Chains A and B, each alone.
Chain A
Amino acid sequence: MTPLISPWLPAEAGGGVPVLPVEAAGTFWWLWLIIALPALGATLLLLGGRLTNPWGHLLGTAMSAGSFGVALVMFVALLGRSEEERQVRQQLWTWLDVGDYTVDMSLLFDPLSAVFVLLITGVGTLIHIYSIGYMAHDERRGRFFAYLNLFVVAMLVLVLADDYLAVFLGWEGVGLASYLLIGFWAHKQSAAVAAKKAFVVNRVGDVGMSLAVMTMVATFSTSSFVGVSAGMPEASSGTSTALGLLLLLAACGKSAQVPLQSWLLDAMEGPTPVSALIHAATMVTAGVYLIVRSNYVYAETPVAQVAVMAVGLVTLLFGAVIGCAKDDIKKALAGSTMSQIGYMTLAAGIGPAGYAFAIFHLLTHGFFKANMFLGAGSVMHAMDDDVDMRHYGALSRAMPITFLTFAAGYLAIIGFPGFAGFWSKDKIIEAAFAEGWVFGVGALLGAGVTAFYMTRVMLMTFISKKRWRSGVHPHESPSVMTVPLVVLGALSAVGGVLLLGGWITGWLEPVTGPEGEHELFVSPFILTSLVTLVVLAGVVVAWLVFGRGELAGTAPQRVSWVTRAARNDLYGDAFNEAVFMRPGQHLVRGLVYLDDTIIDGVVNGVAALVGGSSGQVRRAQTGFVRSYALTMLGGALVAVLATLAVTLA
């Protein structure tokens, strides 16, 4: 019988796996090329400006594909090595050298970063290809591919760096690239606002990251994986917990986990390929990468581990509920992304028993979610960039390829037996049940809700009666867009092969340590059947609600409070506004008031000065010297008295 939440909270700790790389030689000497190729592409495209428009998309795609090719060769070479030699480090240059604190710019290619590199460059290349068609009519297409390449570079730096400070570099880099890409259609006011929001919320997470790195430097005098993983067993439990929680905060920001989830839904303002690449397949999974990579930190701190699991559980339900109420197809998918990453975070929090499954689900999710986003893009393409699912319907006949590939993604995400998501999600639910009832039941419930909202998307878009606006004539997208869909659709179907013979767990063992045994209260088969039943129930309920009668062309207004809450992103923005923004605004207003009107209450319009030319501005500035002088006097008095009081008291 598993307990409600495992009682091992403060008990067992330790067992982290140290990072012990070997120097790169032979084939691995070319490791730097993986990053250099897209970096070259981004540089050429940015410098070339408009000149690159005719061929920029080809260059960008070629660079990404080349990078994938190199990564594939490296991966095969790594497969050929024995387990002890599967962590390869290539030193590039020394970034920072301050006495005994050194930060190297060096790359670490190990089983974990290898699968990430393949995912980033592989899915990335497919999305580059797709974008050739999707962005065909955009006058700044060259610029778009420059940003895409830039993103790939930053993401590769993030997963290949072997020092937390260098990870931070990629971390900020992907944030910047994401900012540029969300705001790519800056003529839309909403896009510019969304871009800014993503940037600022991400910075909150970055606070966690930078404080974590500072703690490492203060404790271990180093921030390299090797140094930190070697030093962790000796660190005090307070330090370990602080590190674990700070890294979790960082992960929450980047991976849109509660409480830093609010930016992801707005980020859907960016072009759809961006949503597929950054906000589904790669960047948003960086938080999961960080936690799995820092397994040696979490091994020392059960408290932080439970925090990770809790965040994962809350987010997976939170995102799923939001996904149920959205009529915007991209936002529905974004809620789902949030929820699926919640699954990964939950698995990563479980520890060695869950790491491999977190990564496994991350990979399969990368396939099927990128697939569905690109499918959604294809649909939008056909519907004149309309994103409202209430204006869709009966598209299966008009766009057969999009429909079939989307269906593959759909079956994968709900966990239809045999498809990729079935294998990966099932493993997470199993591990969660072994960890505690609360987590298991939550994950199970999430699977049911997932089935519900995905079926809803499927029905509203492809199956139900057509509700097209006048003048819309849907058509299948060109082959440059459908070929990537077919590839990703196939991967969504067969991605589960990675689990054959426990390959993925064995492969990641040098990084995360052995999987360990967990006890289940029932046989795995019964649990799997239970999961499948719950999923089936979700599908049936969705069919009963959305599959039969007519669907309204506009969202009904008289709805339950649950629906209303979910439509408002469960009041995430309202919460931020009430808790952070308003007090902040009051503080700012107060400070500005003090600063402008110090003491004798002179209120002058700054506005009066604005725009006036030299001759008209007579009494220009706001403050009087006497009031400034009075503050100085007051400040000086307080300074003197306080110094005296503190010391002489």
Chain B
Amino acid sequence: MTGEFDVPKVEYALVLPLLVVFGGALVGVVIEAFASRAWRYTAQVGVTVTTLVAALVSTVLVGVGLDSIGGDVPARGELVVEGAIVVDGPSVFLWGLLLVLSLISALLFAERRLEGGLTSFAGQAAALPGTDAERVASTERIEHTEVFPLMLFAVGGMMVFPAAGDLLIMFVALEVLSLPLYLLCGLARRRRLLSQEAAMKYFLLGAFSSAFFLYGIALVYGYAGSFDLTAIDQAVSASTAGTPLLLAGIALIAVGLLFKIGAAPFHAWTPDVYQGAPTAVTGFMAACTKIAAFGALLRVFYVGFGGASWDWRPLIWVVAILTMVVGSLVAITQSDIKRMLAYSSIAHAGFVLVGFVGLYSGNATGAGITSLSSVLFYLTTYGFSTLGAFAVVTLVRDAGGETTHLSRWAGLGRSSPVLAGAFAFFLLAFAGIPLTSGFMGKWMVFAAAWAGGAWVLVVIAVLTSLVAAFFYVRVIVVMFFSDPGVDAPAVAVPSALTAAVIAVAVAATVLLGVVPGPVLDLAQQAGAFVR
């Protein structure tokens, strides 16, 4: 055997943000093993926040240093780690966005005042609900501080997911981001059975969808002879007609990704999981998982299967319409705030899909809105408002924990106008009222799709967002125009952490609506994918 092993070339400087996040997660595991219980919470929160901030700083440095490589829509960046990771404009934009939102989520995770000095995660997840072991765990005030490294691992997976240049790496990233989330979903301190049931469902269905994804990868490999997106692109573009192998592969990969996004008909898990999971985790999932999954969807379909867009466009059209209709219509009958927000997030996924399938790559001058930049912008606006909305949900409580039934929110606007005002503001943003970020996001996405010729989709999208406005307004009416019930829940006074989350989310929702320029500019600068 004379074969030599080529040492892979790793551009450490460019993948630094990933290394920082995974490094921080490992440090968290070590802390869990060696630090005494009394210090763990402080240490873990410190490490998590430091890690995320450091990763954010390095992301900015990477972004500033990206080389432009031209193209119709100017692209910036390069393939690194032997083509496994693509550090380009969209990747860096999504990294930055994910890190900022994760940082905000971390603050929600760390909130301790609401549960009388403990985090909102189960004291001892292994103790069966209702047993002595559980009571012991709560009297001894035990906490699971593992949630912080788990979250960091998930963030790491989310960052690799949309940056993967290779389908196998993408699959690994998918699992890295999913497994910690399955665990986190089951860790609620209150309503533990509900939470565990949610985790179980999410796990089983997630595993099921991973199988589709993996099978799709296998089929595409059979067609193209490579996992590499660039190579797949060449193979797809070289042949004139799609073959069953490729088409089935594309459809199955789409199923796997659409599951993570929560698009109909692969959305069934969303309401159950969003409702059962601890609210901080729900906010984190609703914002970050969706962003990462959309990033991956964009990359696979724009880069890998761009040449076959005529083959998959009808599929995505139908899914987009179905998602918008199901999300906004079914939301109307929901009586639980978290379920309603879950269906609302499904509807939003549909709106983003409209932007995605518009396939508009800018006008003749190469400037202006593109589908990619509009989707990136939409995800930004959506992420902040969603986190803010779920942060508010954590605060409306009674003796049994959070009260998420809509009827219990009646009259909230009178008892705590500031909080209800913030929530109403997020809802108006979801509804897309001007001067909120939601309006700019919708406007950009729809305008790009309109320019790309998908006007039928845009008309449907505008009509369904009209229906969606109806149930957002209904919640506002309940909060401000109904009398509080006899046993109205108290609004807990949060620590500075949750207050900061809500304040940041409100500020972002206002700023992105009034002066969207800088962020839009960033999304423009992200340019196109590097192939």
Residues of A at under 8 Å CB distance from B? 94-101, 165, 168-169, 172-173, 176, 183, 186-187, 191-192, 195-196, 199-200, 203-204, 206-207, 210-211, 214-215, 217-218, 221, 584, 587-588, 591-592, 595, 598, 606, 609-611, 613-615, 617-618, 620-623, 625, 627-629, 631-636, 639-640, 642-644, 646-648
Contacts and interface: CB of A to CB of B under 8 A. Distances in A.
Contacts of A611: 405
B520 A172 contact: no
B61 interface: no
A537 B459 CA distance: 48
Given A98-B368, A647-B241, 4 more contacts: A186-B481, A595-B330, A631-B265, A636-B255
Interface in B359-389: 362-363, 365, 367-369, 373
B405 A644 contact: no
23 contacts: A99-B369, A173-B435, A192-B477, A192-B481, A192-B482, A196-B473, A203-B466, A207-B466, A211-B458, A591-B326, A595-B268, A595-B330, A614-B193, A614-B194, A614-B401, A620-B191, A625-B205, A632-B255, A633-B208, A642-B318, A644-B244, A647-B310, A648-B247
B356 interface: no
A617 B193 contact: yes
B449 to A, nearest CB: 9
B205 A629 contact: yes
B265 A643 contact: no
Residue among A173, A183, A591 with max Cβ neighbours from chain B (10 Å): A591
B326 A595 contact: yes
A628 B481 contact: no
B333 interface: yes
B444 interface: yes
A228 to B, nearest CB: 15
B208 A632 contact: yes
A640 B524 contact: no
Residue among A95, A183, A199, A621 with max Cβ neighbours from chain B (10 Å): A621
Contacts of A610: 335-336, 405
B255 A606 contact: no
Given A217-B447, A643-B312, A588 B333 contact: yes
Nearest to B202: A625
Contacts of A176: 428, 433
For the complex of A and B, 9 pairs with smallest distance between CB atoms: A99-B367, A99-B368, A192-B481, A186-B481, A635-B265, A628-B268, A613-B400, A640-B251, A169-B434
Contacts of B466: 200, 203-204, 206-207
Interface of B: 129-130, 190-194, 197-198, 200-201, 204-205, 208-209, 212, 241-242, 244, 247-248, 250-252, 254-255, 259, 265-266, 268-269, 272, 275-276, 310-312, 314-315, 318-319, 325-326, 329-330, 332-333, 335-336, 362-363, 365, 367-369, 373, 400-401, 405, 428, 433-435, 439-440, 443-444, 446-447, 450-451, 458-459, 462-463, 466-467, 469-470, 473-474, 477, 480-483, 514-517, 520-521, 524
B509 to A, nearest CB: 15
A588 B401 CA distance: 31
B191 A617 contact: yes
A621 B194 contact: yes
A221 B205 contact: no
A647 B247 contact: yes
Contact of B194 (A94, A218, A617, A634): A617
Nearest to B212: A636
Given A99-B524, A211-B459, A588-B329, A606 B208 contact: no
A217 B524 CA distance: 18
Contact of A211 (B244, B259, B329, B462): B462
Nearest to A206: B466
Contacts of A642: 251, 314-315, 318
B314 A635 contact: no
Given A203-B466, A610-B405, A617-B191, A632 B265 contact: yes
A646 B311 contact: yes
Contacts of A97: 517, 520-521
Contacts of A207: 462-463, 466
Given A218-B451, A614-B190, A639 B332 contact: no
Contact of B197 (A172, A191, A620): A620
Contacts of A215: 450
B325 to A, nearest CB: 8
A66 to B, nearest CB: 24
Nearest to B268: A628
Nearest to A622: B272
A191 B482 CA distance: 11
A532 B241 CA distance: 76
Contacts of B332: 588
A199 B433 CA distance: 12
A366 to B, nearest CB: 25
B330 A592 contact: yes
A214 B458 contact: yes
The binding surface of chain A is classed by DSSP as helix
Nearest to A208: B462
Contacts of B276: 620-621
Contacts of A192: 477, 481-482
B252 A636 contact: yes
Given A613-B400, A614-B400, A101 B251 contact: no
A644 B241 CA distance: 11
Contacts of B450: 214-215, 217-218
Contact of A632 (B197, B205, B329): B205
A446 to B, nearest CB: 32
Contacts of A640: 247-248, 251-252
Residue among A97, A186, A628, A639 with max Cβ neighbours from chain B (10 Å): A639
B265 A99 contact: no
A618 B197 CA distance: 10
Contacts of A195: 477, 481
A186 B315 CA distance: 46
Nearest to A628: B268
B338 to A, nearest CB: 12
A101 B329 contact: no
A200 B515 CA distance: 27
Contacts of A617: 191, 193-194
Contacts of B130: 615
B477 A196 contact: yes
A211 B447 CA distance: 9
A625 B368 contact: no
A622 B273 CA distance: 12
B259 A632 contact: yes
A628 B368 contact: no
Contacts of A168: 434
A101 B506 CA distance: 27
A614 B191 contact: yes
A172 B516 CA distance: 18
A639 B272 contact: no
Nearest to B398: A613
Given A195-B481, A620-B193, A632-B259, A98 B200 contact: no
A623 B268 contact: yes
Nearest to B421: A46
B448 to A, nearest CB: 10
Given A640-B248, A646-B311, A210 B265 contact: no
A98 B520 contact: yes
Contacts of B428: 176
Contacts of B434: 168-169, 172-173
A534 to B, nearest CB: 41
Contacts of B405: 610-611
A133 B311 CA distance: 68
A396 B467 CA distance: 48
A297 B292 CA distance: 43
Contacts of A646: 311, 314-315
Contact of A625 (B193, B200, B266, B514): B200
B251 A643 contact: yes
A584 B467 CA distance: 10
